[in-house]
Structure 1
Amino acid sequence: MLVADIISDVIGPDLPVRVVAYDGSKVGPDSSEVTLRVISPSALARLATAPATLGLARAYVSGEIEVDGEMYQLLDAMADLTINGLTRAQQIDLARKMLPIWAKHRRPIPDLEYRPKGRLHSLRRDHRAISHHYDVSNRFYEWVLGPSMTYTCAVFPTADATLEEAQAAKHELVVQKLGLKSGMRLLDVGCGWGGMVMHAAKEHGVKALGVTLSKNQADWAQQKIEELGLSKLAEVRHLDYRQTPESQFDAISSIGLTEHIGRDQLSRYFSSLHARLRPGGRLLNHCITQPRTPRRKKVDPFIGRYVFPDGQLEPIGLLISEMNDAGFEIRHEENLREHYALTLKAWCENLEEHWDEAVAEVGLGRAKVWRLYMAASRVGFERDNIQLHQVLGVKLAAQGGSGFPLRGW
């Protein structure tokens, strides 16, 4: 059986991109701007044992499949496969067809694939899982994220706003929702490279503490805080949010942390944040969510093994219920998924602009992982396979006092 015919069975016969295989077979229009090149029979062996996204990702990271043209265009054309996957019957049929190829050309799992060990969401395992993703290289992230070093969804005030303008707008939106004013105390959990902490301190005179499990992030952020002369107001610690000693904060921001918490830990997570707030204090929870109750518990296997180990996405209804049950009154919620698609588009462009430097810094395989996952995530947000929600809650004061105006934040 020709390779192009096998690929056509996996991806679909009407694929609007060109596929060219090592045996000379091809499928798809010659006029396509994107070509998927199957370089080695080992790529098919990958598909035999891990049909759909994981097998394709393993082959791409290993150099057994290459893409000529823009990765986003390829994944957008393959969206039905990347989002919905193959049925069980299709997987069995594909494995049967490729069993002889697998027996002859099977390869070990790529070294970049990571499976954390230890008790799920223990302190030690969470430290390792976060380090796997975020402690890659600060220089690499500077190229991808741009000057803001903000690795979460931006908020674009206009469609033509720059990434830096949109990240600043996101931080300011969080400030406004939390009602931050000079002299207030802010805790930013999962603070990344400290963008929210520094914005609150510099622009509003807020005394801000950020905590992160990534030592690289903490070191970079603390150095930046000192360079900006913000040491009297801002601080970032290499610390788990569960070990934050202070309490009675005026506000807490959690921007991109909930995805790492795990469903069974949500109750304790929100209760822990509730306990660290003063009465009348507000929480802004910003995270990626499922658009509906998921059929499977875990994220896509490629994302889970190469990008965010132990990551888990929940539907927004569950997160709001958990916040409410922890004692928060929910005051506002909004979905920003289109903004995340625009954010990822900008990150992808940054990576391509610095591709040679990125490969030299972190290696070709890891650079390919980021190229693949960011382009795939952009497609997911555009097509409502994943969403990004901000939820604003308050720890009520005595006799139900919320401190909110009749309209607005």
Structure 2
Amino acid sequence: MIVESCRKNEAFRDVARTKNETTDLSFQSLLVLQRLIGTYRPRNFAVRCWDGRIWEPEAGQPRCFTLVLKHPGALRALCFRPSQLAVGEAFVNDDIDVEGDLEAATDLGWFLAGRRWTFKDLARYGWWLWRLPANRPAAGGRSPVSLRGAAHSAGRDKQAVSYHYDTSNEFYRLWLDRRMVYSCAYFARLDEELDTAQERKLDYVCRKLRLQPGERLLDIGCGWGGLVLHAAQRYGVEAVGITLSERQAELAQHRIQEQGLAHRCRIEVRDYRHLPEDRPFDKVVSIGMVEHVGEQKLPEYFAAAWRALRDGGVFLNHGIGCREGDAGGMGAFMEQYVFPDSQLVPLHVTAREAERTGFHVRDVESLREHYALTLRHWVRRLESAHDRIVTLVGEGTYRVWRLYMAACARGFHMGLFDVYQTLLSKPRGGRSDLPLTRADWYRADQPGTS
């Protein structure tokens, strides 16, 4: 055991100065990692070095995962400047790997990212870490984002959306459900299939909106058109979806043509600030888009939805929120490699801005547990399609998505994030035109039954 080996050495600096420094780097790396991990529990994981040396889990603990140090400089990349970005980049750049449960490993990642060097640790280990080789094998396929313009301006928002969503339509097709719904599913059972749960979510949204044949529906941030198509097919509405992603719009419009629904729905590349004003919509929905708006732009966002909606209509706003007191950002790694310029706000902030616009809050529902389940489905499907994904977009992009979705699954499971559906009404002379109860939302057990 590495712990027993460490106890035989009176001082780390003496080990580091031996003639076997180069050949014994794996031992020294494990020694430093043991010190950095300290009292972290449960230590239900192993650590394996590039030369095969292994530090086994704590006695009596099952092995949930193995942290793999891929080369002699791996520990420098992971721990020399501890931060979420450093941990994420060490994984993306193939300095480290995780075999087994990556979601469980994110707890260790957060711990290492938040650990700060003591003066004693820095004096003992800092110089040694700094001297480790800095060369990093390139995983390829993903570079940190570089945006131009003012934050949340129309031009910069388009760049941010393109960075994430224009990765490749085929890439998303490989691990999303058959309708390519890139948002929280709605599960009736823990073991339910993703396709079924996503269809149930689409139908649940339509029921919350109480769609009727002939009504006009606007979907802000429509993705690949899953909800637009479902609403037109099952509920007989006329639907318009908007997105800033050229690739999403292209595929969504192709799907509309393919299913013979061009007379009832269309997709436009359009910013939410420039909505069509020919005539108001009966219902408006936005799923997974408000996170990209930014807190300062929430008044503009709700004002745009208000203008687009007829008096007496309803707006369903679905988005991820953070807890009160959190910074609201999604972390440096997420901002650099996944969702640039994204911002999470507490539920009460979103509701306050909606009410200031004039909306009445009629219903709020948390789908937190459903999102954790959804993300786990996505991670498993992503991992099973590894070889095809790497061919399409490169190993680096695969690693970014695997890490971000596993970490988010953990965050939703632990209650660090939440996702809310908020039903808002635009009153007409004080009336909401809504039923007294929610009974009609649950009138059938099977998705797609209207």
Give the shorter-chain TM-score range. Answer: over 0.9
Alpha-carbon distance between aligned partners in 1 of 2:323 and 2:184, rounded to the nearest angstrom = 16
- The structural deviation recorded for 1:299 is 1.6
Partner residue of 2:227?
Answer: 196
Alpha-carbon distance between aligned partners in 2 of 1:185 and 1:218, rounded to the nearest angstrom = 19
Q: In the alignment, does 2:84 pair up with 1:56?
A: no
Partner residue of 1:240?
Answer: 271
Partner residue of 2:296?
Answer: 264
Alpha-carbon distance between aligned partners in 1 of 2:221 and 2:119, rounded to the nearest angstrom = 38
Q: In the alignment, does 2:341 pair up with 1:313?
A: no
TM-score (norm. length: structure 2): 0.84
Alpha-carbon distance between aligned partners in 2 of 1:380 and 1:216, rounded to the nearest angstrom = 29
SS of the equivalent of 1:98 reads helix
Partner residue of 1:4?
Answer: 30
User: Which residue among 68, 87, 109 is the counterpart of 1:37?
Assistant: 68
SS of the equivalent of 1:121 reads coil
Q: 1:115 to 1:298 in 2, by over 3 A?
A: farther
Q: Is the 8 A contact 1:248 1:276 kept in 2?
A: yes
Higher radius of gyration, 1 or 2: 2
Letter in 1 for 2:283: A
SS of the equivalent of 2:312 reads strand
Q: 1:273 to 1:120 in 2, by over 3 A?
A: same
Q: 1:104 to 1:78 in 2, by over 3 A?
A: closer
Q: In the alignment, does 2:300 pair up with 1:274?
A: no
Alpha-carbon distance between aligned partners in 2 of 1:270 and 1:391, rounded to the nearest angstrom = 12
SS of the equivalent of 1:78 reads helix
Partner residue of 2:96?
Answer: 65
Q: 1:335 to 1:12 in 2, by over 3 A?
A: farther
Q: In the alignment, does 2:52 pair up with 1:17?
A: no
Structure 1: 5+ residue runs without aligned partners?
Answer: none
Q: In the alignment, does 2:155 pair up with 1:124?
A: yes
Letter in 2 for 1:98: G
Alpha-carbon distance between aligned partners in 1 of 2:324 and 2:119, rounded to the nearest angstrom = 25
Q: 1:94 to 1:260 in 2, by over 3 A?
A: farther
Q: Is the 8 A contact 2:273 2:300 kept in 1?
A: no
Structure 2: 5+ residue runs without aligned partners?
Answer: 1-11, 13-27, 442-450
Q: In the alignment, does 2:316 pair up with 1:288?
A: no
SS of the equivalent of 1:392 reads strand
Q: 1:57 to 1:11 in 2, by over 3 A?
A: farther
User: Which residue among 258, 281, 287 is the counterpart of 1:249?
Assistant: 281
Cα RMSD after superposing both structures: 2.4
Alpha-carbon distance between aligned partners in 2 of 1:92 and 1:366, rounded to the nearest angstrom = 38
Partner residue of 1:113?
Answer: 144
SS of the equivalent of 2:175 reads helix
SS of the equivalent of 1:275 reads helix
Q: 1:357 to 1:406 in 2, by over 3 A?
A: same
> Sequence identity of aligned pairs in percent?
39
Partner residue of 2:213?
Answer: 182
Counting matched residue pairs gives: 404
Between 42-51 and 154-163, report the one with greater CA deviation. Answer: 42-51
